[in-house]
Structure formats: C-alpha cells, structure tokens
Chains A and B, each alone.
Chain A
Amino acid sequence: MHPAFSVIFLTTLIGTGQGLFLALCTAQVYATIGLLPAQPKIFYVAGSAIALALLVAGLIASFFHLGHPERAWRSAARWRTSWLSREVIVLPALMGAVAAYGLVHHYGWDLSLIGIDTAIEGDLALVIGAAGALLAFLLFLCTGMIYACIKFLQEWATWLTVVNYTLFGLASGFLLATAYAAYWDAPALMYFYGAWAMATTLTVLVTRVASLIRNRRLKHRSSIQTAIGVRHARIVQKSQGFMGGSFNTREFFHGATRRLYRSIKWIFLVLVFPVPLALLFAGMVQSNALLIGAAFVVQYLGLLAERWFFFAQANHPQNLYYQTIS
C-alpha cells in the first residue's frame, strides 16, 4: 500500500495522545490509593492539554486524507459495520473526555456537584478518567481494526495489528509522560512512567517482530492464476490497459526502491526500540528531562518510519492486476 502521510501522522499522534492520557489517569489512581505521591492539579491540567493537542493534531492530519473533509461528519453514519466510522465516533468522544478531565482538575470539581459525596479527593476526575481510559482503549481497537479487518490485506489481517497499535500508543504515551514527569521533577512518577515505557516498548518489540516474522512467512492466497482464473504455471501480464498510471497504481504501491524499503525497516527497528530505551535509561539515572525528551522524539520519529513500513509492507491483491505496461 502507498503510505499516506496524513494517516501516518493521524495514527501516531493520537496513539501518543491516548497513551499520555492513560498515563495521567494511572498516575491519579495510584496517587489516590497512595502508591504514588499526589501531583499538583496543574500537572493534570497541562498533561490533558498536551494529550488533547496530540489528538486534535491527529484529527487535523486525518482531514488531509479526505477528498471532502467538509462532509467528514457523515462518516459517523455506518458505525454498525465500519470500524472507520466507529473510530470517527470514538475519537471525538475521547477528546471530550480528555478535555473534561483537564477542566475538572482545573476547577477542582468533584462528584459533590451532583450531590454525591465520596471522601475521595478528585473523584469526579477519576470517573471521567475511567470513562476516558475506556474510550482510549476502544480507540486503539478501532484504529487497529480499520486495518486488521480487511482480510485480503493479509499482512494486516491479524490480532497483532491491534496489539501493536495499542502498545505503540502506550509506549510513546508513557515515554512522553516520563519526560513530562521529569520536567515537573516528580522523580517517583518519572521512575514509574519510565518503567512502564520500557515495559511496553519491550513488549511491542516482541509483538512487532512477531508480526514481521509472520509477514515474512505469509503465503498470499491470491495469485495471478486466481486473479484471472487461468490455470497455468506461467502467466505474465503484458499490459495493464493504460500506460500513464492510474489510481490503482498510485494508491496501492509504495513506489519506493527495494533499498529504501529495507532500510526503513531497520531505521524504525533502531529508532523505536534500542535508542529510546538507552536515552530513557540514561535520562532516568541522571533524571534529565532533556534526555528523556530526546528519547521520546527519537521514538516518535521511529514510529513514523514504522507506520510507513506498516503500509508499504501490505501487499494488496489488486496489485496482481497492475504489473506491466506496454
């Protein structure tokens, strides 16, 4: 498939946003039950703002993918059947939740507003956080499924796609959160986030490599024989019916050279995993926000490459019909 930058940014930005938001909620939960020191509300307010910003940026990126953005609202219509439609519903919902979460922290509202009195500090925020967390995971599911549900894009059609989307989001989100915590120099939180960041990064390393291996072994079910319905070992296309290209040659081929294609795989494997982990580790021992920030930036760039490769590697059966011109 042709990697569209709109989609690459959409998925990576909202993934990080989702992860960051989940990090904030976790922090609050742990704080509430005293496993972690409490943070000033500004920590949550600013954090939610950043998460929201990432989600909005992602949304904006996605508009560049549409022929008719002004009609984007229509795409909520088919949520019963279309994961894309579902994503389109969940994403704004999550944004709402994140915004609310920030506001609630800002104004220090709690459930007493609606006459419920819990002794718990920031209970309303916890409720919204919980709802938001649910939406965030739902969104991971939707985004993942948009790709995983197309059965003949065999490189994508696996639960690993959803898992990777989720873990990449968590990893980048928590990594950002680590830098964020370091910035507010909240060492405990920094170590906590850092630990999670490492954990998720290492697990996604496993699952992503697993998907790479899977795709390497993949047997494509469609062949030139099934494509034109002729049973013969040697079939070669001579003409695809036009010579100057078409939507079918632009949308479904990555168009990169073999070398670029291969190097991008290694680039993302290096940028997403070892380098950020090293930087993160260094940053944590010296509790240096900058280093950790760098770790995040590097990993994010790595994720862009990973997403490019994710698309490029997907081999659409329609390509069987678009091999040769003459």
Chain B
Amino acid sequence: MTQSSSGRIETRNTTCYMCACRCGIRVTLKDGEIRYIEGNPDHPINKGVICAKGASGIMKQHSPARLTKPLRRKPGSERGANEFEAISWDEAFALLEERLAKIRATDPKKFALFTGRDQMQALTGLFAKQFGTPNYAAHGGFCSVNMAAGMIYTIGGSFWEFGGPDLDRAKLFVMIGTAEDHHSNPLKIAISKFKRNGGKFISVNPVRTGYSAIADEWVPIKPGTDGALFLALIHVLIKQGLYDRDFLVNYTNSAQLVNMDRNSSEYGMFVRAEVPVEEGCFDPQNKLWWDRHAGKAVVTHTAGVDPFLRGEFTLPDGTPVKPAFQLLVERVKDYTPEWASAITGIPVETITRLANEMGVTARDQKIELPIAWTDIWGKDHEVVTGNPVAFHAMRGLAAHSNGFHTIRALSILMSVLGTIDRPGGFRHKAPFPRPIPPCAKTPKGPEGVRPGKPLDGMALGWPADPDDLFVEPDGTPVRIDKAFSWEYPLSVHGLMHNVITNAWRGDPYPIDTLLIFMANMAWNSTMNTVEVRKMLNDKDENGEFKIPFVVVCDAFQSEMVSYADLVLPDTTYLERHDVMSMLDRPISEFDGPVDSVRIPVVPPKGECKPFQEVLIELGSRLKLPAFVDTRGQRKFKNYPDFIINYEIEPGAGIGFLAGWRGKGGEKFMKGEPNPNQWEMYAKNNCVYHHELPKSFQYMRNWNKGYLEWAQRHRLTRYAEPILIHIYSDVLQQFRLAAQGKTQGKQPPQHLRKRIETYFDPLPFYYEPLEGQLTDKRKYPLNAVTQRPMAMYHSWDSQNAWLRQIHTHNYLFVNPKTAATQGIADGDWVWVESPWGKVRGMCRYSEATEPGTVWTWNAIGKQPGAWNLEPRANEARKGFLLNHLISEELPRQPEGEHLSNSDPVTGQAGWYDVRVRLYKADAAEDKLSWPRFEELKPVPGAPPRKQNWLAYVAGKIMGS
C-alpha cells in the first residue's frame, strides 16, 4: 500500500508540539485519519526532519490518557484520590465565573495562574494582567531563568529561545551542560553540519551521552563548578592577550570608568558626564573613557579616541577611577587554572589548552563578510567580521544556585573573545537584542494590585534598580512566589516551584484559587514531590483546604490532574489553533523575525476545548477590558478571531501575529488587522519569516540600521546602543542599597548580607548554596537528571511507541564509584539526600564523572497515572529524583523559608542536590520507592488496549 493507492489522501501543515521546539510538520490524512506525520521540508526550524517524539504524535493523539470531559472532584473525596464526576462546560464556566468574579472584585491577587511547558504566555500573561493578579508566571523560574537573566543582563540576549550559536560559520564549538535543548532538531542539524565542515566540537558535561557522544573532545566536569572554569579561561585569555580588544572597547562597557571612591554613594558605579540625556528605559550613553593619547577622560565613543582598558586614573575632581576591564582583570587574577582545576576536576593543562584553542581560533581565523553596515555612533564599516568560536549552554549551568554568575562569566568569556552577534559566534533572534535590562516592569508596590482593575504593570518584568522591586513598603513580597522581592530580586520568570508551598503556608498570604495550566506540579515539575502532594490536599483546623480551590487544565491524566477540584480538558496540538507569537517566544532565525501558528488538522476529541477558548470565554464573562467592547459585550467570537483582531492598544496595529498584517496582508509587525491572516499563514507553511537585509543581520546591539528598523517596527521603543555589561552597574546598585548607601528601597536587615554578597558587579565563583549547607562527607555525590531525546518530561509514557524506548529508568553510576559501595551493575540501590531517599536500579556507566550520578528525567510515574496499567514498569521500576530535591533551603539567618534557588534570579537549583548511594537490602521488594497509591481512570477516559495494539491509518486494532 503506497500513500496514494487507497483512501482519500490529504496533507495539512501545522506546527508540532510534542515538545517546545516547534518544528513544522506535514500531517498526511487518509480518509480524515492520521496516516503519517513528517517534518515539513519548507519549514525554517526543522527543514523536513523530525524527531522520535514528533514521529510518535499518532500515539499521543490516540492515548488512553486523554481527558475528554470537564471533571469535578467528587464531593467529600480527597484531592489526589482521582475521584471525579463529569460535568458540562456550562457548569464549569459558571463555577469559574462566579468564583473568579468574587476574587477580582475583592482581592485579585488571591487568584494565581501558573503555567508549565506551554507556549502561549502572551495570552495567559494578558489574561492575568487583565484580571489584575500579580500572581502569574510560566515555567521559566524552575526551568532556565538563570540562562535568560544571566545573559540578557550581560549581552541583551540569551541562549534558550532567544539566540544561539552560529554553527554555519563557527570553527570551534563549545557546548556546556546541554543534553537535548529546546532547539532540539535545529541544534542536531547544525551540529552535524558543523562536524562535517571540519569544526572542532567540545562538550563540557559530567556525562557523555547524546550530543556529547559525538563531541571531538569530552571535558567531564564536577556539577556546579563551571563558573570556576570560565573564570580561569578568562584569566588565561587576558594573561596571554588573547582577547578582542577592539570589540571590548567599542561594544562593551570594558573601557568605561568606574568610580573607585569608597566613601562615595556612587562607589562602583560608572562615572557619568554632564551631557543632555533623553528619556530612555536604560542607562544613557554619558559614561567616560580614559583617552590613551590625550591622557584624560573623554565621553565614550568620542570619534578617534582609543581608551585604556587597564590602569588606574584620577579625574580632575580627584575621583579615583578604573576602567571596568581593569576590575575584571583584578577579579580573575587569582582564578588561575590551578585553582579551577582543584574545583572542577579538569586538569590544568586542559584548561590552559582550551583557553588557547579558543583564543587563537578567535584571533587567527577571523571571518570577514563583504557586508557594509553602520554602527549606532554613525561610523560606517566596510565589512562584518567575526571570530569563529561559538558556545551553547543550557540547564547544566542554569539549574544551579550559582548559575546566574556562572552564566555571567560565560557571557563575559564570549564577549572577551569578541563573539557576540557576529558570524561564527553567538547570534541574536528577534525580538532580541533587548536593552539591558529590558524595559518591561512590574508594579513597584502593592498599589499596583487593584480590585476590579487590571494590574498596573506587568506581572513579570526586568528590574533595573532596587526601586523596581515589587515589594510592600516593609520590603516583603507582593507576589505569592516572592518574585522581585529582596530574596530573589531578579526573578524575571517568577518562582513557580515555590507557589504551592507558599500558598499552603499562607506566606506571604493565603490565596483562593490556583489555576495550573499544563504543568505536572504534583510530580515531575515539583521539588520535594511527596510533601508538596500533601500540601495540595492539606486542610486547616476547620477542615477547609489550605489552598481552597485548585483548577487544572491538562490534556492528559497526569498526576497533577488528580489533585484538581476542577479539571478542564484541553485539546492536543493537532486539534487547535495556536500562535508562536512575537509577544512571547517566537521561532525567529538569526536572519530575522519568524513567528508561526498551529492550525487544527483533526477535530477535538470528546468535549475537549482549547485553553485559549476557555480564557477568552472567561475574559468575556468577567468583562476583562481586553476581551469586551465599551458596552461590556464580548469582543471576540473565538481564539482565531481574537488573534486577528486583538491589538495591544486599540489602533496600535500590533497583535499576536506579526505576519501579513494590514488590510491586504502587506504589512509586517505593525498594521491593522487582516481578516485573512490565518489563511495567509496556512498558505505559507504556518510560518511568517521576515528576512532582514544582510546589513541588519549582525552586530545588532550596535547596528544603527537594525536598531532603527526595530524601532520603526516597534520591536523596541529605543534605538540606542546595547553595550555589553562586562561590569554590571545594575547589580552594583543593589549592592549599594544593601550597604545602605542609596536613597531608594533597601533590603530588610536579614537580607542585606545576602544581597551584598550575590549582587557583585563582576562574576565570581561560589559553591552552590545547597552544597555549602550540606555535609559533603556524608553526601559525597552530585545527582542530576538528563532529558532523554525520545521523551518529553512526563508527557510521553502514555505513548505506546516511545515508552518502549524508556520504560523505566536507571541510576547511572561510574563503576568505580559503585564499587566503593559494593554495588553491582543492575543492583537495586538507595539514593539518599538530606531531604529524602529514592530506591531504583543502578546501571554502570564509564561515561559518567565519578562524583556524579544521574538518571533520565521524569520517567517514573504514579501507578495508574496516565491511564497506564498499575503494573507498568514506569510505576514499579521507574523513579523520580524530585523526591530528593527540596524546594526550600534549611533555616538560616537570611531566612526560614528561602527557596532552594539562585539568590539573584530565583532559578530552581535542581542540580545542586548532594546524595549518597548504598545498596538496597536483598530482602527489600524489587520496587522503586517511594510508592504511591494507585489512580483509577477518570470518567471519559478512552478505552485502553490491554493485550495488544496495532495502528493502521486511523484504524486501531487489538484487544
């Protein structure tokens, strides 16, 4: 049987969502049923390829774990018992409307909306803001906010979904702490092309699997110590003079003079000249250089001036000053390879050699592209040049409580090598670069939260100084997750991982309704899982739930669903409209902005309803301004209609989709709504790709053409240079506040020391907080997880094909490490941290650094969850490391309930946990531990094939 030989065949393009990579897919339907899902060859992201998950979409579509009806917890039943009764959508909406209306009219912050691996933060964020609650965030806080914050506060862009390595032109590629990445397929495509072009690929990772497997050199490192490595690399590069001086001078703040007068309230801040300053959201260009020739201070970027990068000088008024770079030199002086070697476990020679390879490749293999461009200071350049050393890093750096400074160090390393938004180095993706920091701000205090009114500001923002913090007058947090408070001032993605604990404890205050969208917070996305599950079901002395009302919108029967009072069954990605919006995280390429959409290829199953429709319905019922007209009437027929007609401000011409705006679809980014916008996307592979002129594609932090273009198209408000913050006066301001040297907001006493320590304007190495607080003789090992390429978090155990690849998980241990405990390959072992213990099976691995143990993430499942049979391996042999990881640090002077997170950004410190390993007693059951009660299927669950199953183009055989 070939595709054509029988049945009505049609193909439809849409966007995959078996993971967050958002590849274009082509779905072939046979008589309306899915025959085949393949990569769309004309899609910029995946160029026709697909991954193991994407190619298994059929089994997700037909999963017995699908939710098909709105569900209400049976009266009197416990949360977690999974006892539900099916209700109608009318009932569900009525229930929500009444409850939410009351909250909004009284105290909007008592409604909290948190979302997981979704890609619709533009809409969920809008809904929260319109509702008026500050208690909104997506998964970023427990995902990789360190990556975003660490890099955006330094170079105005970041890895993750905001930028990446230009492997087309790089000669040396260093990948750090990456197992699979968000950019799954594109990264694979790029790495293999890179290798075939003869580039050298180095992977820094305690474990060698996946990408690292094909690295030309594997550099095993002790978890949490990369900061030390980067600082030592910078040390060598500076010592050898292997840095790109021209780049540092012109495009970073390296040469800017820092006030060194200890008694001044401006100590450690850049000295500013008296020049007219126009209103901007970030620091104006009024800093000083020290002219090497004239031997005096001049305004930066004065034509013809070549400043010193090093030295100490005194201003006419007697102020002692140093160029920022000099401070960096002093900072890394003692960060020698010998020092780093002891911490990272990487041989001294290796560290020095790596630095030399980077430095020499960057210096001697310069790329020169015949592309003329003009910098923001008006200087014309004949060519675009680049240094072909590219980096990529992800959660191996981010998921540590020292991640922010580690990633600052990496960004500075990349800048010292002169590789920012240049060919062969790091490249931005629109709408990046952003000003440092980006302009979005939260309200500055409780007054921003007003009954019956939208939030006065964004729920998430980018503090530029202490006054931007979102705190009560006494300095305590306004947000339930304590984001933007003195505990985690730059928690730009919130702290989803602390929401349940805080709400349960009523600290800073109790809430009423918690709406969780697309997050398995009762399982794999929660730290301290066992306790958090108790909190979700915990009642006060009057027998009332401590978290009064829990709503979960999910598409499948996850562990979290069982804790809901109300379950909203979502559609799958093949059943709904979606947008990958410029207002969120578009799929932009290096060469210009790209956004994309999903268009349904099959009808929704049962009573499933897209969450988008739910929000629009609720928004209309609650009469949230954005969703109703002046007469309070519902404004949008449905989500597709909303996407076409919604504008960020009436008449602004900016909406969720940037492509084909304007009456006839002739405009990009800004233009009146286009009734045929969806059709245009449908006709064009569901993608709008705006390729920038070549001269706008590089050096965008300082590229006049680009910045003005971005300003014209309202990607940004200001066409100002975005100088790289080698030295961060933003951080210094917080430190000054902590030292009591500023007028504005100051941290509460108990946090002054913490702020002063961690808000260092230059990166420094410190051991992850949990390590500092743990007895490392008792818990000698680091425990981390990795993403399996063929599984997406908790989603895919329901997938009959994928679960055959990862049916349960093992703990991978270096044989020498295992031997010290007399553990044999395949033995049942206990992994124990100060917070809990887990039993699972051990698998020897020579590809694992001896001080590290690891396992595949999120394979273990609760019995019966995901409508798997209770005997499924996932539930009997599979395990989660989450039980070992605490969401809070042990009580300490800085606070009783500090989050187990980065003190700067609130990034969850997943990979900080320390463990010990010992053999399980032969008499113990051969079952993973902890054990959980079995979940029964929920009403409306599709039948589950017990014995066998075979799929043929929509027909499902078996019994």
- Direct contact between the two chains A and B in their complex (CB within 8 A): yes
| Interface residue? B742 (CB, 8 A) | no
| Interface residue? B681 (CB, 8 A) | no
| Interface residue? A326 (CB, 8 A) | yes
The answer to whether A326 touches B804, judged by C-beta atoms less than 8 angstroms apart, is no
The answer to whether A238 touches B843, judged by C-beta atoms less than 8 angstroms apart, is yes
Task: State the CA gap A9–B343 with chains docked (Å).
Answer: 66
Contacts of B806 in A (CB 8 A): 243
Question: Contacts A236-B846, A326-B843 hold; do A242 and B810 have CB atoms under 8 A apart?
Answer: no
The answer to whether B843 touches A244, judged by C-beta atoms less than 8 angstroms apart, is no
The answer to whether B846 touches A243, judged by C-beta atoms less than 8 angstroms apart, is no
The answer to whether A243 touches B843, judged by C-beta atoms less than 8 angstroms apart, is no
| Beta-carbon contacts under 8 Å, B146-171 to A | none
Task: State the CA gap A36–B918 with chains docked (Å).
Answer: 77
Please tell me the number of chain B residues within 8 Å of chain A, measured between CB atoms. Answer: 12
Task: State the CA gap A236–B843 with chains docked (Å).
Answer: 12
Task: State the CA gap A243–B806 with chains docked (Å).
Answer: 7
Contacts of B808 in A (CB 8 A): 243
Q: Which of A236, A238, A244, A324 contacts B807 (CB 8 A)?
A: A244
A243 — nearest CB in chain B belongs to which residue? B807
The answer to whether A243 touches B845, judged by C-beta atoms less than 8 angstroms apart, is no
Residue picked from A242, A243, A244, most chain B C-beta under 10 Å: A243
The answer to whether A244 touches B846, judged by C-beta atoms less than 8 angstroms apart, is no
Task: State the CA gap A244–B800 with chains docked (Å).
Answer: 12
| Beta-carbon contacts under 8 Å, A224-274 to B | 236, 238, 241-244
Contacts of B843 in A (CB 8 A): 238, 324, 326
The answer to whether B846 touches A242, judged by C-beta atoms less than 8 angstroms apart, is no
The answer to whether A242 touches B845, judged by C-beta atoms less than 8 angstroms apart, is no
Task: State the CA gap A241–B845 with chains docked (Å).
Answer: 16
Task: State the CA gap A243–B807 with chains docked (Å).
Answer: 6
The answer to whether A241 touches B805, judged by C-beta atoms less than 8 angstroms apart, is yes
Residue picked from A238, A243, A244, A326, most chain B C-beta under 10 Å: A326
Task: State the CA gap A270–B4 with chains docked (Å).
Answer: 64
Task: State the CA gap A238–B804 with chains docked (Å).
Answer: 16
Task: State the CA gap A324–B873 with chains docked (Å).
Answer: 16
Task: State the CA gap A242–B812 with chains docked (Å).
Answer: 17
Task: State the CA gap A243–B843 with chains docked (Å).
Answer: 13
B826 — nearest CB in chain A belongs to which residue? A324
B804 — nearest CB in chain A belongs to which residue? A242
B733 to chain A, nearest CB (A): 50
Contacts of A238 in B (CB 8 A): 843, 845
Task: State the CA gap A324–B806 with chains docked (Å).
Answer: 13
A228 to chain B, nearest CB (A): 14
Task: State the CA gap A324–B843 with chains docked (Å).
Answer: 9
B841 — nearest CB in chain A belongs to which residue? A326
| Beta-carbon contacts under 8 Å, B567-607 to A | none
Interface of chain A, main secondary structure: loop
Query: A315-326 CB contact bits vs B (8 Å, 1 = yes)?
Result: 000000000101
The answer to whether B810 touches A244, judged by C-beta atoms less than 8 angstroms apart, is no
Size band of the interface chain A makes with B: under 10
Task: State the CA gap A238–B826 with chains docked (Å).
Answer: 11
Contacts of B804 in A (CB 8 A): 242-244
B877 — nearest CB in chain A belongs to which residue? A243
A258 to chain B, nearest CB (A): 15
Contacts of B810 in A (CB 8 A): 326
Task: State the CA gap A75–B843 with chains docked (Å).
Answer: 45
Task: State the CA gap A241–B810 with chains docked (Å).
Answer: 14
Query: B763-798 CB contact bits vs A (8 Å, 1 = yes)?
Result: 000000000000000000000000000000000000
Task: State the CA gap A122–B598 with chains docked (Å).
Answer: 88
| Beta-carbon contacts under 8 Å, A92-120 to B | none
A250 to chain B, nearest CB (A): 14
B805 — nearest CB in chain A belongs to which residue? A242
A16 to chain B, nearest CB (A): 38
Contacts of A243 in B (CB 8 A): 804-808, 873
Task: State the CA gap A238–B810 with chains docked (Å).
Answer: 11
B872 — nearest CB in chain A belongs to which residue? A244
B429 to chain A, nearest CB (A): 34
B878 to chain A, nearest CB (A): 10
Task: State the CA gap A241–B846 with chains docked (Å).
Answer: 18
B438 to chain A, nearest CB (A): 43
Task: State the CA gap A201–B488 with chains docked (Å).
Answer: 86
A234 — nearest CB in chain B belongs to which residue? B846
Task: State the CA gap A242–B845 with chains docked (Å).
Answer: 18
| Beta-carbon contacts under 8 Å, B659-700 to A | none
Task: State the CA gap A244–B876 with chains docked (Å).
Answer: 13
B444 to chain A, nearest CB (A): 52
Contacts of B844 in A (CB 8 A): 236
Contacts of A244 in B (CB 8 A): 804, 807, 873
Contacts of B812 in A (CB 8 A): 326
| Beta-carbon contacts under 8 Å, B791-834 to A | 804-808, 810, 812
Contacts of B807 in A (CB 8 A): 242-244
Task: State the CA gap A238–B847 with chains docked (Å).
Answer: 10
B827 to chain A, nearest CB (A): 13
Contacts of A236 in B (CB 8 A): 844, 846
A302 to chain B, nearest CB (A): 35
Task: State the CA gap A276–B788 with chains docked (Å).
Answer: 59
Task: State the CA gap A241–B52 with chains docked (Å).
Answer: 12
| Beta-carbon contacts under 8 Å, A270-326 to B | 324, 326
Task: State the CA gap A245–B736 with chains docked (Å).
Answer: 63
Contacts of B846 in A (CB 8 A): 236
B808 to chain A, nearest CB (A): 7
Task: State the CA gap A290–B805 with chains docked (Å).
Answer: 57
Task: State the CA gap A238–B210 with chains docked (Å).
Answer: 13
B845 — nearest CB in chain A belongs to which residue? A238
| Beta-carbon contacts under 8 Å, B852-886 to A | 873
B7 to chain A, nearest CB (A): 27
Task: State the CA gap A243–B877 with chains docked (Å).
Answer: 12
A233 to chain B, nearest CB (A): 13
Contacts of A241 in B (CB 8 A): 805
A324 — nearest CB in chain B belongs to which residue? B843
B814 to chain A, nearest CB (A): 13
Query: B739-770 CB contact bits vs A (8 Å, 1 = yes)?
Result: 00000000000000000000000000000000
Task: State the CA gap A326–B812 with chains docked (Å).
Answer: 9
A223 to chain B, nearest CB (A): 19
B201 to chain A, nearest CB (A): 19
Task: State the CA gap A243–B810 with chains docked (Å).
Answer: 11
Task: State the CA gap A263–B667 with chains docked (Å).
Answer: 82
A242 — nearest CB in chain B belongs to which residue? B804
B841 to chain A, nearest CB (A): 9
Task: State the CA gap A241–B804 with chains docked (Å).
Answer: 8
| Beta-carbon contacts under 8 Å, B547-564 to A | none
Query: B34-51 CB contact bits vs A (8 Å, 1 = yes)?
Result: 000000000000000000
Contacts of A326 in B (CB 8 A): 810, 812, 843
| Beta-carbon contacts under 8 Å, B440-494 to A | none
Task: State the CA gap A242–B59 with chains docked (Å).
Answer: 17
Task: State the CA gap A108–B416 with chains docked (Å).
Answer: 108
Task: State the CA gap A326–B207 with chains docked (Å).
Answer: 15
A240 to chain B, nearest CB (A): 10
B806 — nearest CB in chain A belongs to which residue? A243
Task: State the CA gap A324–B808 with chains docked (Å).
Answer: 13
A188 to chain B, nearest CB (A): 60
Task: State the CA gap A197–B168 with chains docked (Å).
Answer: 79
Task: State the CA gap A326–B813 with chains docked (Å).
Answer: 12
B437 to chain A, nearest CB (A): 43
A326 to chain B, nearest CB (A): 5
B927 to chain A, nearest CB (A): 16
The 4 closest A-B CB pairs, nearest first, are A243-B807, A326-B843, A326-B810, A242-B804
Give me 14 A-to-B residue pairs in the complex whose CB atoms sit less than 8 angstroms apart, sorted by A's number. Answer: A236-B844, A236-B846, A238-B843, A242-B804, A242-B807, A243-B804, A243-B805, A243-B806, A243-B807, A243-B873, A244-B804, A324-B843, A326-B812, A326-B843
Residues of A with Cβ closer than 8 Å to B?
Answer: 236, 238, 241-244, 324, 326
- 15 A-B pairs besides A242-B805, A243-B808 with CB distance below 8 A are A236-B844, A236-B846, A238-B845, A241-B805, A242-B804, A242-B807, A243-B804, A243-B805, A243-B806, A243-B807, A243-B873, A244-B804, A244-B807, A244-B873, A326-B812
